[in-house]
Structure 1
Amino acid sequence: MRILLWHVHGSWTTAFVQGPHTYVVPVTPDRGPDGRGRAQTWDWPDSVIEVPLERLRDEDIDVVVLQRPHELALVDACLGRRPPLVYVEHNTPHGDVPDTRHPVADQPDITLVHVTHFNRLMWDCGRAPTAVIEHGVVDPGQRWTGELDRAAVVVNEPVRRGRTTGTDLLPVFAEAAPLDVFGMATDRLRVPNTRTFDLAQRDLHAAMARRRVYVHPIRWTSLGLSLLEAMHLGMPVVALATTEVTEAVPPGAGVVSNRIDVLTDAVRDFVADPLHARLIGEGARAAALARYGLSRFLDDWERLLKEVTR
């Protein structure tokens, strides 16, 4: 099967392209948002091929995986036809929640795939057929050492996104333990007892795994893949009990709460007790492998792709 998709979400796509198909990703000379081509910082297999946007019309495409509303117009303009269409919704709705209507809600010929059950519950999907395929993660391996008595946080653009990413909570967590914040545009962050890093994806996991505990302060997001990656690494996690987190982090894998005192006490406990951190981290890894393993993710996608193309 030849699958057309745009390079939008690097971590999710890295898992998706591990399947048995050929993955066509558009490329433009400037490698802009509609033509990023192959990933530069993730490892993708040779089955991912770049095709210039203007030459897509010559490609045999069996199915298109959309991820942004305007991509449907790109399909019409660049292919001149509509193969079977799947729309992957990575995000929680914004705006008038829970009445936010999805962009493809009125298009019954497009299968709308959510990455969490919370997302499907919260979006108004109208007449669109829906499915949930939970995340899968390429296993980075058990890498936690916890040698640094610091907490790791991964968030992109924390200053611009503010309360959405829990940026206002970072000073409170930094009082419980020194923080190392990883992600894009973190250099603008000014929080006492906090360091910031913008690392290439290939270096991120090793850096995270050296920290004693992973903190997930995000209020409103689908389900941060960095949280699942931290669990795969064998890190104990401390997270807000929002959106899908209560499903992703079971008892014995970390501490999940909406009480700030409970969360900060947990950070202090993990930092002070490396053995406890190790044991809980092992539980986090086992839980992540069981629910968010790559093989389950690919099997779910294989079934759905066969359904929409038959």
Structure 2
Amino acid sequence: MNILLWHVHGSWTTAFVQGPHTYLVPVTPARDADGLGRARTFSWPASVREVTPGELREAEVDLVVLQRPHERELAERWLGGRRPGHDLPAVYLEHNAPDGNVPATRHPLADCDDLTLIHVTHFNRLFWDCGTTRTEVIEHGIVDPGHQYTGRLARAAVVVNDPVRRGRHTGTDLLPALSEAAPLDVFGMRTEGLAEHLGVPGQRCRSADLPQSELHAAMAERRLYLHPVRWTSLGLSLLEAMHLGMPVVALATTEAVEAVPPGAGTLSTRPEVLARAARHYLEEPQAAAEDGARARQAALGRYGLKRFLDDWERVLTEVRA
């Protein structure tokens, strides 16, 4: 099957393109948001082919995976008038939890009868109002990075992009108090100057933007993974940390309460409880390693790549029927 999808979310797409199909990924000369092409820092198989808008006009496409509202019109234009959902089978993948007036937020594709809307968590499906649109949940899958955990550095790893701009969404305001319990290494895009912004000493809150090829090894050297996120979809970095064998200290919000089982770390809506858990792992490295091993087994069981690809294969087969 030839599947058209845009490079929107590198970690998710890395798992999706491990399937048995050919994946057509648009590329534009500027490699902008509508045509990033293949990933530069993730390892993708040769079955992922870059295609220009001009090439798409004549390309053989069997199914379209839409991920942003404007892609429907963009696909129709680039595919020479072929309409996703009408002339071509299509699904819409929703990566995010709703924003705004959350209990009443209507999804942009609510009440559509020509495609399937797929959520990445059950929490997201619960909170989006999708009207009569057919919905499915296909939980995340992770390309297993292996059990790399050493925890040799008595620090907490945090992975977040744009922590200053995203603020309370990602729990950035909680980091100063948590940094008193455990020194933080914050990995992600646009994290430079974070300590100064928060008024925290530099050694208590270090920042780095590492390529994916280096990130997992760096995370696994830290004693624990800290996830202070108030409101987002389930962060793939949390699942990657669990796969690495890291114990988790996380706010008990959104889908985290489903992803992190007892014995794999600490979940709480009380920051002071998270601070105590972080101190515990710094002082008890053996306990950290044991909880991290349980976190890895839980992640492999629920978020393994085979289950993920099998779920997608079932839905794609149904959509094409």
Query: Above 0.5 in TM-score?
Result: yes
Match in the other structure for 2:154: 149
Deviation at 1:31, TM superposition (A): 0.4
Quote the Cα distance in structure 2 between the aligned partners of 1:138 and 1:24.
Answer: 20
Deviation at 1:91, TM superposition (A): 0.2
Match in the other structure for 1:47: 47
Deviation at 1:262, TM superposition (A): 1.0
Match in the other structure for 1:6: 6
| Aligned partner (choices 202, 216, 219) of residue 213 of structure 2 | 202
Q: Secondary structure at the match of 2:185?
A: strand
Match in the other structure for 1:289: 300
Q: Match of 1:287, as an amino acid?
A: A
Q: Secondary structure at the match of 1:75?
A: helix
Would you say the 8 A contact 1:217–1:240 is kept in 2? Answer: yes
- 1:213 paired with 2:218, answer no
Would you say the 8 A contact 1:104–1:110 is kept in 2? Answer: no
Quote the Cα distance in structure 1 between the aligned partners of 2:239 and 2:9.
Answer: 15
Q: Secondary structure at the match of 2:213?
A: helix
Q: How does 1:221-232 map to 2 (within 5 A)?
A: 221-232=232-243
- 1:84 paired with 2:95, answer no
Deviation at 1:284, TM superposition (A): 0.2
Q: Deviations over 1:211-268 (max 9, x none)?
A: 0000000100110000000000000000000000010000011100101111100000
Q: Deviations over 1:10-54 (max 9, x none)?
A: 000000000000000000011000000000000000000000022
- TM-score normalised per structure 1: 0.99
Q: Secondary structure at the match of 2:207?
A: strand
- 1:188 paired with 2:188, answer no
- 1:303 paired with 2:314, answer yes
Would you say the 8 A contact 1:253–1:280 is kept in 2? Answer: yes
Runs of 4+ residues deviating >4 angstroms = none
Quote the Cα distance in structure 1 between the aligned partners of 2:53 and 2:25.
Answer: 9
Quote the Cα distance in structure 1 between the aligned partners of 2:177 and 2:295.
Answer: 24
Q: Deviations over 1:271-309 (max 9, x none)?
A: 111100000000000000000000000000000000000
| Aligned partner (choices 241, 249, 268) of residue 238 of structure 1 | 249
Quote the Cα distance in structure 2 between the aligned partners of 1:87 and 1:279.
Answer: 39
Quote the Cα distance in structure 2 between the aligned partners of 1:118 and 1:66.
Answer: 20
Match in the other structure for 2:114: 109
- 1:93 paired with 2:94, answer no
Q: Sequence identity of aligned pairs in percent? A: 68
- TM-score normalised per structure 2: 0.96
Deviation at 1:188, TM superposition (A): 2.9
Q: Deviations over 1:193-214 (max 9, x none)?
A: 1100000011000000000000
Would you say the 8 A contact 1:212–1:235 is kept in 2? Answer: yes
Q: How does 1:10-89 map to 2 (within 5 A)?
A: 10-79=10-79, 80-82=81-83, 83-89=88-94
Would you say the 8 A contact 1:155–1:184 is kept in 2? Answer: yes
Q: Match of 2:29, as an amino acid?
A: P
Q: Secondary structure at the match of 1:227?
A: helix
Match in the other structure for 2:281: 270
Quote the Cα distance in structure 2 between the aligned partners of 1:126 and 1:61.
Answer: 29
Quote the Cα distance in structure 2 between the aligned partners of 1:47 and 1:67.
Answer: 20
Q: Match of 2:52, as an amino acid?
A: P
Deviation at 1:106, TM superposition (A): 2.5
Q: Secondary structure at the match of 2:226?
A: strand
Match in the other structure for 1:171: 176
Q: Deviations over 1:104-141 (max 9, x none)?
A: 11211120000000000000001210000000000000
Q: Deviations over 1:80-110 (max 9, x none)?
A: 1121110000000011111110011121112
Quote the Cα distance in structure 1 between the aligned partners of 2:153 and 2:101.
Answer: 42
Quote the Cα distance in structure 2 between the aligned partners of 1:253 and 1:110.
Answer: 38
Quote the Cα distance in structure 2 between the aligned partners of 1:136 and 1:196.
Answer: 27
Would you say the 8 A contact 1:159–1:188 is kept in 2? Answer: no
What are structure 1's unaligned runs of at least 5 residues?
Answer: none
Quote the Cα distance in structure 2 between the aligned partners of 1:164 and 1:144.
Answer: 28
| Aligned partner (choices 132, 144, 147) of residue 127 of structure 1 | 132
Deviation at 1:57, TM superposition (A): 1.2
Quote the Cα distance in structure 1 between the aligned partners of 2:125 and 2:266.
Answer: 25
Q: Match of 2:36, as an amino acid?
A: R
Deviation at 1:75, TM superposition (A): 1.2
Q: Secondary structure at the match of 1:98?
A: helix
